[in-house]
């Protein structure tokens, strides 16, 4: 039996109830097979794969906080410190009722390879809580964040583990978390990224994931002799990643016709008016349905996802498994020929199979959304230097990083006989650096 299969089969028995983690692990392990086989003896002897699929540690804790009625509420908090072979653990915090250990393990595992692909010295981790910030007052969110950090601070630090935002954790939450860390430790250090500009944040971090997604999509199109200009684009989500993916795609001449939230999607044939979306989502924290009340000619589809609309390019930017096999068939029927993933693992394995069968240009999340963590690493550098770079400087570095990720990904795919398969390419390119570091550092 192949080494890869042996390791996966054991994992599937041991963690049978962690379906998201197994989905991510299976994709990675299957696609790195050619690289593992090229070096199998050394990898087997030092248990590289067995060590890679088991997190260094998982910290889980109670988060008690008091709501506006004076009642104590209790959530669970986690930090999954997955692998620090190439740098301190780095990865976001997610606050969403669906959060559990399996989801955080999948995200932490993906993060190892994504972070490696950026070329920057950051390991993989992820954390969060089943707390739902929707509908909570600012005071309640602050109370929760302070309680969460009161436990988390023991395990994080600028050279140890540097969390950031993710679903449900934006500038407001990062601010409260940072304040509490500083209050407890007395340290003014870059322990979190995605901070506000007035206290150590980096310009362009807010935009980085969405902009980076569009930069790498643009590069992939260019290499295929195409461009974004004039193309019709479907975006899902209306949070951080979706908003700035839409903004950059529009700047490069594309027509973005959809955005969504967990209640439904809006279709605007004239192209999304992003100022309206920002006002609804960032200022009022409202629902995307309000867009249709404000913009003539647009339509709101309650309870649906946007994948049935005609398009050239789809950018899923909401959450995991939001494009299933049937959705992918709808994309094909609607003329779509390119998908780049802003969210983490938004396409199910069946959806990816459909893209590949239909010859799509397909850039998986690990490569496509790495711009966020890359600029987070640049924020860490600026904090260490006690300097702030200009927006243009950070944006130029981001563009360069995304181009490099495209290059490494396509070269690795070609080297192992899978030209144009960016799933194989990104997994192998990410894996090789981590594996080399793990071998060099011995059995730890």
**Annotated catalytic sites, by residue?**
126
Asked if residue 240 binds ligand NDP (CB under 6 A), the reply is yes
Please state, in angstroms and rounded to a whole number, the distance separating the CA atoms of residues 180 and 166: 19
Pairing status of strand 299-302 against strand 264-267: antiparallel
Comparison of 342 and 364: residue with beta carbon closer to ligand NDP? 342
The piece of 35-43, 154-162, 232-240, 378-386 that touches ligand NDP (CB under 6 A) is: 232-240
CB 242, min distance to ligand NDP, A: 6
d(CA 361, CA 339): 6
User: Of the two residues 25 and 103, which places its CB atom closer to ligand NDP in the complex?
Assistant: 103
Residue of 343, 367, 378, 423 interacting with ligand NDP (CB under 6 A): 343
Helix (H, G, I), strand (E, B) or coil at 262: coil
End-to-end Cα spacing for the chain: 26
Residue 123 has what DSSP assignment?
Answer: E
165 sits near ligand NDP (criterion: CB under 6 A): yes
Q: How far lies 109's CA from each of 185, 187, 242, in Å?
A: 29, 29, 23
Distance CA 138, CA 140 (A): 5
Residue 321 and residue 295: Cα distance in Å, rounded? 30
Report in angstroms how near the CB of residue 283 gets to ligand NDP at its nearest.
14
Residue 341 contacts ligand NDP per CB under 6 A? no
Rounded-to-integer distance, Cα 189 and Cα 141, Å: 23
Q: Site residues for ligand NDP, window 296-325 (CB under 6 A)?
A: 317-319, 322
Q: Using CB under 6 A, which of 261, 268, 327, 395 touches ligand NDP?
A: 261
Which of the residues 110 through 139 are near ligand NDP (CB under 6 A)? none
Six token digits for residue 361: 């240009």
Does residue 237 interact with ligand NDP by CB under 6 A?
Answer: yes
SS3 96: coil
Q: Which of residues 167-206 bind ligand NDP (CB under 6 A)?
A: 167-168, 170
Furthest C-alpha separation in the chain: 64
State the pairing for strand pair 255-261/264-267: antiparallel
What is the smallest separation between the CB atom of 168 and ligand NDP, expressed in angstroms?
5
The DSSP 8-state label assigned to residue 89 in this structure reads: E
String of DSSP letters for 337-374: -EEE-SSSS-B-HHHHHHHHHTT-EEE-HHHHTTHHHH
Question: Closest separation between CB of residue 7 and ligand NDP, Å?
Answer: 25
Among the listed residues 180, 238, 348, 409, the single contact to ligand NDP using CB under 6 A: 238
Find out whether 123 and 88 touch, Cβ atoms under 8 Å: yes
For residue 44, the SS3 value is helix
Minimum CB separation of residue 15 from ligand NDP in Å reads: 20
Binding mask 359-388 for ligand NDP (x = CB under 6 A): ----------x--x----------------
Residues that contact ligand NDP, how many (by CB under 6 A): 24
- Nearest residue to ligand NDP by CB is 239
Of 165-173, 182-190, 307-315, 383-391: span binding ligand NDP (CB under 6 A): 165-173
Considering beta carbons, is residue 39 or 262 the nearer one to ligand NDP? 262
Q: Which residues bind ligand NDP (CB under 6 A)?
A: 165-168, 170, 209, 237-242, 261-263, 317-319, 322, 342-344, 369, 372
């Amino acid at each position: 039996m192949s080494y890869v299969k042996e390791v996966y089969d054991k994992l599937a028995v041991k963690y049978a109830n962690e379906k998201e983690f197994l989905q991510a692990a299976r994709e990675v392990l299957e696609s790195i097979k050619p690289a593992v086989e090229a070096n199998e003896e050394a990898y087997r002897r030092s248990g590289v794969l067995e060590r890679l699929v088991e997190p260094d540690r998982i910290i889980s804790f109670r988060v008690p906080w008091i709501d506006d009625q004076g009642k104590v509420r209790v959530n669970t908090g986690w930090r999954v410190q997955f692998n620090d072979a190439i740098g301190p653990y780095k990865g976001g915090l997610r606050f969403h009722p669906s959060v559990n250990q399996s989801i955080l393990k999948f995200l932490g595992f993906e993060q190892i390879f994504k972070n490696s692909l950026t070329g920057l010295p950051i390991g993989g981790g992820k954390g969060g809580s089943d707390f739902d910030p929707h509908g909570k007052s600012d005071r309640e969110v602050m109370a929760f964040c302070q309680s969460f950090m009161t436990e988390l601070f023991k395990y994080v630090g600028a050279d140890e583990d540097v969390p950031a935002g993710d679903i449900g954790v934006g500038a407001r939450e990062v601010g409260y978390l940072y304040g509490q860390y500083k209050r407890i430790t007395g340290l003014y250090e870059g322990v979190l990224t995605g901070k506000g500009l007035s206290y150590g944040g980096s310009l362009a971090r807010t935009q980085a994931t969405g902009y980076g997604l569009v930069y790498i999509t643009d590069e992939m199109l260019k290499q295929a002799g195409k461009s974004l200009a004039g193309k019709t684009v479907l975006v899902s989500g209306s949070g951080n990643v979706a908003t700035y993916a839409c903004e950059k795609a529009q700047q490069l001449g594309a027509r973005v016709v959809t955005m969504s939230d967990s209640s439904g999607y809006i279709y605007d044939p004239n192209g999304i008016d992003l100022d309206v979306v920002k006002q609804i989502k960032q200022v009022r924290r409202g629902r995307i349905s309000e867009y249709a009340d404000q913009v003539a000619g647009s339509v709101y589809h309650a309870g649906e996802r946007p994948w049935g609309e005609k398009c050239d390019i789809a950018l899923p930017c909401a959450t995991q498994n939001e494009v299933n096999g049937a959705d992918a068939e709808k994309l094909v029927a609607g003329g779509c020929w390119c998908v780049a993933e802003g969210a983490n693992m938004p396409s199910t394995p069946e959806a990816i199979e459909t893209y590949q069968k239909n010859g799509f240009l397909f850039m998986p999340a690990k490569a496509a959304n790495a711009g966020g963590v890359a600029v987070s690493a640049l924020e860490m550098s600026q904090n260490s230097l006690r300097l702030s770079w200009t927006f243009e400087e950070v944006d130029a570095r981001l563009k360069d990083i995304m181009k490099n990720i495209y290059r490494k990904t396509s070269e690795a795919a070609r080297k192992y006989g899978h030209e144009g398969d960016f799933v194989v390419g990104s997994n192998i390119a990410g894996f090789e650096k981590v594996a080399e570091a793990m071998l060099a550092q011995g059995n730890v």
